[in-house]
Amino acid sequence: MPFTTDLPPLNYIDGQWVRPASTAAIEMICPSDGHVIGQIARGGAEDIDAAVAAARRAFEGEWGRTTATERGRLLSRLGLAILANQEELAQLEANDTGKPLKLARSDVIATARYFEYYGGAADKLHGDTIPFLDGYQVMIVREPRGVTGHIIPWNYPAQMFGRTLGAALATGNATVLKPAEEACLSIVRLTQLAAEVGIPAGAINLVTGYGEEAGAALASHAGIDFLSFTGSPEVGTLIQKSAADNHVPCVLELGGKSPQLVFEDADLDKALPVVINAIIQNAGQTCSAGSRVLVQRSIYEKVVSALAARMNAVRVGPHEADLDCGPLISKVQHGRVMGFLERARKDGIPVIGEGRIDERASKNGFFVKPTLLGPVPLSHELAFEEVFGPVLVVIPFDDESDAVRIANGTEYGLIAGVWSENGARQIRVAKKLRVGQVYVNGYGAGGGIELPFGGFKRSGHGREKGFEALREYTVAKTIVLNHG
């Protein structure tokens, strides 16, 4: 029997589940087979107004008076509630996004970890003192920004709920969340759990709907004090311009074209499985996907042959089959990725390896074969444009300086991997890469909850995750006391 959910097509505002002003709903489509699995509310500007007003009341009222210790306890309780409902949330996430169940389960565990981490950190963000003139005491205190808006993508809904709300709530902000319309059923359930564990009314407000309606209304709202957005650079530019009209600061995470640099002294037995996994995870629909592999020319043929064998072994299928790779999120995204592959073939870019689509895959699902291509010229779109699908391009390099030049040669700068057994090279290259995170002999790490995350250049600015996020969601206030 096809999976369906009875989660209500309602918004959550001021502690109540309410119908959107338009009473309209958006159908949620399972990417594995194209059938409708539920509905969400089609919120708009009027709903955003109500949510922002509720958040302001909470910030100036009960939630604003809640101590850091109590905020931490509430977030820790939410983490435990998530673990207690792990399988239900994983099923929602897998059906809604198409990702394999094993990945959805890992995502739910990571979501719980966000609240565990920020629950423990809530009372540990300290201020400072500054030596000043005789007779003065100067203190720096960190205060919440106030009402924070959060616009998040469809690729990791549950994790993004924890990543963006965890730090904001830990520091005492009241929040308004607008998730992506393509996938947010797990977020509706997580919001229910937040209410069940006692997070006060107005601290979390959820408005679902289309980006050009609810999202645009939130980004341009004069009543918010800070905005977090994760998504495409094009939409990020619009978001930042809207926020600028009200002098609202932003943290933006806008994607990447992340390289993995494989030097001739790399341990290939360790490197190559990670290189493949970094592009097939979530069907390549990951901002930090390792979509470029740069290989030193002296080992190029050896590495390409081994990567091809691994790519050919990748199995693609519906989420419930729990294979290596699931479908893309939507028909639109499927068409976009296939467009890149078709243009590459017309341009004569060699296909080195392809995964296979499992016989259990529905013809109505949005499946694409994971594909390895190369060598790819630096002038080709595959070398510098984000595909956001399971497409890995191979680019040869001559030496260390050549590798760094190529790695830094796109408009993005989110994450990179360096594979080498030479300790001096590891540090030299890591310091020269213009990215927000560098992994040496690894790539990605268990959700990276503790690790500050964000980019350079077109990948955005500001940082989420880790302790840095607590600083993003607070402002420094200087208090100068003349005690004589």
Which positions are catalytic? Answer: 253
Structure tokens at 422: 């030479």
3-state secondary structure 74-140: HHHHHHHHHHHCHHHHHHHHHHHHCCCHHHHHHHHHHHHHHHHHHHHHCCCCCCEEECCCCCEEEEE
Amino acid in the structure at residue 346: K
The span from the CA of 372 to the CA of 382, in Å, is: 11
Q: How far is CA 92 from CA 41, 177, 227, in A?
A: 17, 19, 27
Q: Is 206 in a helix, a strand, or coil?
A: strand
Question: What residues are paired with 397 via a beta bridge?
Answer: 296
Regarding beta strands 391-397 and 415-419, do their DSSP bridges make them parallel or antiparallel, or are they unpaired? unpaired
What's the rounded Cα separation, in Å, for the pair 28 and 96?
7
C-beta atoms surrounding 477 within 10 Å: 11
Which residues sit opposite 442 in a β-bridge? none
Question: What is d(CA 387, CA 311) in angstroms, rounded to the nearest whole number?
Answer: 17
Residue 146: both structure tokens together:
């106030």
What is the C-alpha separation between 115 and 199, in angstroms, rounded? 12
Is 336 within 8 Å of 358 (Cβ atoms)? no
**Which tokens in the block code for residue 473?**
């969601």
* Nearest residue to 147 via CA among 163, 122, 119, 168: 168
Alpha helices in 122-205 (DSSP H): 157-170, 185-196
Closest CA to 202 of 67, 70, 22, 66: 66
444: three-class secondary structure by DSSP: coil
Assign 275 to helix, strand or coil.
Answer: helix
CB atoms within 10 A of CB 454: 25
The angle formed by the CA atoms of residues 63, 248 and 46, to the nearest 5 degrees, is 70
Omega cis (within 30) before 375:
yes
For residue 130, list its beta bridge partners: 138
Length of the chain: 484
Give the closest residue to 121 by CA, choosing from 427, 470, 370: 470
